[in-house]
Amino acid sequence: MRRVPSRPRCLRTRARTLFVTAASCAVCRTASLQPRVSSSDPPASSDQNPLPSPRDSRARREGMESGGVGMGGGECRSNDYGDAAYWDARYSSSGSRASGGGEFFDWYQTYAALRPLLRARIPAASRVLMVGCGNSLLSEDMAKDGYKDIVNIDISSVVIEHMREKHKEIPQLTYMQMDVRDMTFFGDESFDCVLDKGTLDAMMCADDAPDGASKMLAEVARLLRPHGIYLLITYGAPKERVPLLSQAGCRWSIALYIMPTPRYQLKMSKGAPQSTMEEVALTEDGQLPPDYVLKDPESHFIYICHKLAVKEAN
């Protein structure tokens, strides 16, 4: 999926902020968005691959399954990921740990790995909305680390019930069943930060993609206070995600970090767990520099999107 440039040059420069001011949704005009959602990158103690094999005809039609069993690469493996019934089944207590029905499962990265970035960007007093929380440990770990107010939502009533019960003694965490495409329950500008680990990716695999994902992003922008942060952790490279983020109604300044998978980091550190991430300067039009090479081709992209105040956006 990802083009590997011929002239490798590692960028360790200070990230430049990108001001995205596109007036319309480029996503709706392109068919090239093919995120792949998978849970291939759990912490060492987690299951290696809790996903079922793909059965999605659309994905097959679009050649999205062709990446082999390796994870990442921006492809979508199943459009079930946008389906509440799919997630309910997956999170049901009868489900095996390997299918996500266990006590917890963290997609992509853990709090330990993300902590330096989160602590630096999100003050502990922030009101945080965790979209598509699943049964991840992220919110619990953040609360233990001093975060005061984390509202968790997910489309799966099964996982919300489970998490509400599990965390009933942690007042910093609240849980609500909700669809990210319609969060009208919350008022405008009611959060300082929206955290998304894998949920936009799931939306991009849904039957209604990319429209559902666009609705989600419009809602995220509405819910954030000016200068609030949408922190997106995704398999989607800037080529796929920046046009989506630039849709009508969303005005962001974006900084990008790239983080190798835990598996890659473990391999490179030869056994001693490590957390590394690189801040990357985007081009004027919000892309990776043409000669940029991903050290780990399966890397996760972390977009720190600051909501611009109206006068900044115009």
For residue 288, give every residue at least 6 positions away whose Cβ sits within 8 Å of its Cβ, in sequence order, or none: 237, 238, 239, 280, 282
In whole angstroms, the minimum distance from the beta carbon of 88 to ligand SAM comes to 8
Q: How many residues sit close enough to ligand SAM to count as binding (CB under 6 A)?
A: 20
- What tokens appear for 149 in the block? 């107010």
Please state, in angstroms and rounded to a whole number, the distance separating the CA atoms of residues 281 and 250: 21
For residue 26, the 8-state DSSP code is S
Based on the shown chain and the rule CB under 6 A, indicate whether residue 132 belongs to the binding site for ligand SAM: yes
In whole angstroms, the minimum distance from the beta carbon of 68 to ligand SAM comes to 20
**Which span sits near ligand SAM by CB under 6 A: 164-172, 198-206, 217-225, 270-278?**
198-206
For residue 301, the 8-state DSSP code is E
The residue among 107 and 252 lying less far from ligand SAM, judged by its C-beta, is: 107
Based on the shown chain and the rule CB under 6 A, indicate whether residue 236 belongs to the binding site for ligand SAM: no
Based on the shown chain and the rule CB under 6 A, indicate whether residue 163 belongs to the binding site for ligand SAM: no
Handedness of CA 26, 31, 32, 34 (dihedral sign): positive
> Which segments of the chain does DSSP mark as H helices, in order?
57-61, 84-91, 111-121, 138-144, 157-166, 199-203, 211-223, 238-245, 262-268, 310-313
Which residue in 35, 73, 198, 236 binds ligand SAM (CB under 6 A)?
198
In whole angstroms, the minimum distance from the beta carbon of 255 to ligand SAM comes to 21
- What tokens appear for 75 in the block? 């492809």
The residue among 82 and 228 lying less far from ligand SAM, judged by its C-beta, is: 82
Which residue in 47, 62, 149, 179 binds ligand SAM (CB under 6 A)?
179
In whole angstroms, the minimum distance from the beta carbon of 6 to ligand SAM comes to 33
Give the residue from 177, 201, 214 showing the smallest Cα distance to 71: 201
List the interface residues with ligand SAM, window 20-79 (CB under 6 A): 37
Q: For binding to ligand SAM (CB under 6 A), which residues are involved?
A: 37, 82, 87, 106-107, 132-134, 136, 154-156, 159, 179-181, 197-199, 202
